[in-house]
Amino acid sequence: MSSALGNLPSSADYAALLPAFIVAIVPLLILFVDLFYRESGKWRRVVATGIAVVWLIVAAVLQGMQYPHDYAAFGGAFVQGGFSIVFSEIVIVATIATLMLSIGVGRDDQVAGTTALLLWSASGAMLMAGASNLMIVFLGLELLSLGLYCLCAMSKRPTARESALKYLILSSMASAFLLYGSALLFGATGSVGFAALAAATVTPLLALGAGLFIVGLAFKLSLVPFHAWTPDVYEGAPLPITAFMSVATKAGTLAVLARFAYAALPSDRAAAILAPLWVLAALSMVIGNLGALAQTDMKRLLAYSGIAQVGYIVTAFAGTTALGLRYAILYLAGYMFMNLGAFAVVALMARDGDAVVGLPRFAGLAYRRPWLAVAMTFFLIGLAGLPPTIGFTGKILILAASVGAGYAWLAGVLILGTAISAYVYFKIVRVMFAQVDAAHVRDERSPSALPWVAVAVCAAATLVLGLVPFTPSNVLPLVK
């Protein structure tokens, strides 16, 4: 019987957690510095954002330096390795992009607070990336969510507060399911470590615990039928926060789901325990894309599209093959760039960086702001899964992996979902390239050019990843 906290932690244990620590402690620095500003001003915003970006880059570099080393810190509670580092880097990139998009959003005197909350959320997602212990999973998940509840409300629009309330209630309920599942898993095995779970004999209690645990994760991933909150919350929340949620939350949760599915289940019954997950993925791919068909608000549309995209990623896990995991990571990275790119385009179309951007606003965009329309078209092509983007390459690889693992039916659903999604995305493209009377269209511009940087980086990454897919090979083993 191994206790997660049995041994005293060493300096190496703290070193493994250092990047997440930095991201968790820098908010205090930001808040402290902010105390010295008496009046609201542009510099107050620049300083807070600047400190955050600099330290995020430091954390990213420190994280990257640890890449080749596998280390199980705190008695195996936090496993640092290629897997966790790739996910953490995705979270950090998403956070930096969010900060870029949020220049110009909200009041200057609130920026330090929102930046701090954002970093705490990010540190939660980074904890989840390396968590291989039920407690750390719960801690990371809550750290991620608590910040986001507040961030969702950070807008003057009443819908922002509504989205925060809905997110708070539903997400807490889902966390409770995950927690209760954790308690049952602990009861079934007498341990909170993933490694011990994998060695246990399967009992109904363990299966039930695993099921509730998966429900909690499925909620965070917004898999159907636990997706209902996603469109409402995405639509109501400030645009940068929506962008962050659509990537960072999913990255952290997918890391936990992957580690749980691959490494924390007794191998003899893992397939049976995970079976509902593939059904959820299939439902998400179909219903997510169908739901997107009827949408006219861009954030809402991207929310539904995100539901389907997560379905694609979970499809890669089917059969829990090592290759599938690598392709899932690749597709997640690609999805991050395509999705953040699309959000950046939307941000560039709002005067305060956070307007409600409906589909009619895109009418004739290609003639008014051709570069923006071209960029958006490129990201939509990627999301639809057409070459020469990572959307295409990633989907082909996922199809190959799932067929190879014996889940051809899931691959079939993926193709069906992709077919529906093409209709969704090309609807937007068609609107952008339609000739309309410009007088009828409200044309707003973002006050900041920083989203352009995000657009350029995301477009380049979407293309390059598509041509040169990077699939990290040293992601296993996931527990020690």
Partner 1 sequence: MSVAPDYYVILSAVLFSIGVVGVIARRNPLIMLMSIELLFNAANLALVTYARAWTNNAGHVFAFLVITVAAAEAAIGLAIVAVTFRRMPFVDVDEVSALKG
Partner 2 sequence: MLLYLLWLLPLFGGVLLWAFGPQLKSWAGPIGAALIGVAFVATVVLWNDATAPGGLHAGLVTWLPGWSFGLQLDRLSLIWSLIITGVGFLIHVYSIGYMDGDRAFARFFAYMNFFVFAMMTLVLSDNVIGLLVGWGLVGLASYFLIGFWFEKPSAVAAARKAFVMNVVGDVGIMFAVFMIVARIQSIGYADIFAHFQQAFSPTALFLVCLGLFIGCAAKSAQIPLHTWLPDAMEGPTPVSALIHAATMVTAGVYLIARFAPLWSASADARELVGAIGGLTAIAGAILGCAQWDIKRILAYSTMSQIGYMIMGVGIGAYDAGVFHFFTHAFFKAQLFLAAGIVIHALADEQDVRRMGGLWKQMPFAFVAMLVGVLAISGVPGLSGFFSKDAVIYGALESGHPWLYAVGLVTAGITAYYMFRLLFVTFFGAYRGNVDQSDLGIRHPELAGTAASTGHRSDEEEPHHHAPAWLMSVPVGILIVPTIAIGWLDAWPGAPWRQFFAGFFPRVNEAAVAAPFSETISTVLVFVVVVAGFAIAYVRYGAPAALRDAIARLRTETVRMPAVLVNAYYFDAAYDALLVRPARVLGGWFDRFVDPHVIDAGVREVAITSQWLGHLFRSFQTGLVRAYALSIAFGVLCIVAYYAYAFAFTGSGR
Tokens of 85: 């580092």
Q: Does 205 bind partner 2 (CB under 8 A)?
A: yes
Q: Does 134 bind partner 1 (CB under 8 A)?
A: yes
- Closer by beta carbon to partner 2, 102 or else 145: 145
347: nearest Cα among 202, 457, 245, 444 = 444
Dist CA 297 CA 185 (whole Å)? 41
Q: Does 431 bind partner 2 (CB under 8 A)?
A: no
Q: Does 217 bind partner 2 (CB under 8 A)?
A: no
Q: Binding segment for partner 1 among 87-95, 156-164, 306-314, 416-424 (CB under 8 A)?
A: 156-164
Dist CA 205 CA 225 (whole Å)? 23
Out of 78, 87, 138, 177, which residue is the one contacting partner 2 (CB under 8 A)? 177
- Closer by beta carbon to partner 2, 48 or else 287: 287
Interhelix angle 158-189/134-152, rounded to 10 degrees, is: 170
Residue 37's SS3 state is coil
Q: What angle do CA 174, 178, 179 make, to 5 degrees?
A: 115
Q: Binding segment for partner 2 among 100-108, 362-370, 402-410, 466-474 (CB under 8 A)?
A: 466-474
Q: Which residues contact 36 (CB under 8 A, 6 or more apart)?
A: none
Q: Binding segment for partner 2 among 71-79, 86-94, 173-181, 375-383 (CB under 8 A)?
A: 173-181
Dist CA 87 CA 95 (whole Å)? 12
- Closer by beta carbon to partner 2, 157 or else 166: 166
Q: What, of partner 2, partner 1, none, does residue 423 touch, CB below 5 to 8 Å by kind?
A: partner 2
- Closer by beta carbon to partner 1, 88 or else 171: 171
Size of the site for partner 2 (CB under 8 A): 43
Q: Does 293 bind partner 2 (CB under 8 A)?
A: yes
Q: Which residue has the tokens 């205090």?
A: 28
- Closer by beta carbon to partner 2, 285 or else 365: 285
Q: Nearest 5°: phi and psi at 109?
A: -80, -5
Q: What, of partner 2, partner 1, none, does residue 4 touch, CB below 5 to 8 Å by kind?
A: partner 1
Residue 473's SS3 state is coil
Q: Does 387 bind partner 2 (CB under 8 A)?
A: no
Q: Does 199 bind partner 2 (CB under 8 A)?
A: no
Out of 22, 73, 128, 184, which residue is the one contacting partner 1 (CB under 8 A)? 184
Q: Which residues contact 73 (CB under 8 A, 6 or more apart)?
A: 9, 12, 13, 14, 16, 17, 79, 80, 130
- What is the DSSP secondary-structure string of 41-106? -HHHHHHHHHHHHHHHHHHHHHHHHTTT--EEETTTTEEESHHHHHHHHHHHHHHHHHHHHTTTSS
Q: Does 169 bind partner 1 (CB under 8 A)?
A: yes
314: nearest Cα among 325, 323, 322, 304 = 325
- Closer by beta carbon to partner 1, 141 or else 336: 141
User: Smallest gap, in angstroms, from Cβ of residue 73 to partner 2?
Assistant: 33
Out of 120, 149, 219, 260, which residue is the one contacting partner 2 (CB under 8 A)? 219
How does 264-289 read in b/e, with b if 16+ C-beta sit within 10 Å? bbbeeebeebbeebbebbbbbbbbbb
383: nearest Cα among 341, 330, 346, 320 = 341
Footprint of partner 1 (CB under 8 A): 1, 3-5, 134-135, 138-139, 142, 146, 149-150, 153, 158-159, 161-166, 168-169, 172-173, 176, 179-180, 182-184, 186-187, 190-192, 231-233, 235-236, 294-295, 300
* Site residues (vs partner 2, CB under 8 A): 165-166, 169-170, 173-174, 177, 202-205, 207-208, 210-212, 214-215, 218-219, 225-226, 228-229, 231-232, 269, 272-273, 275-276, 287, 290-295, 420, 423, 467-469
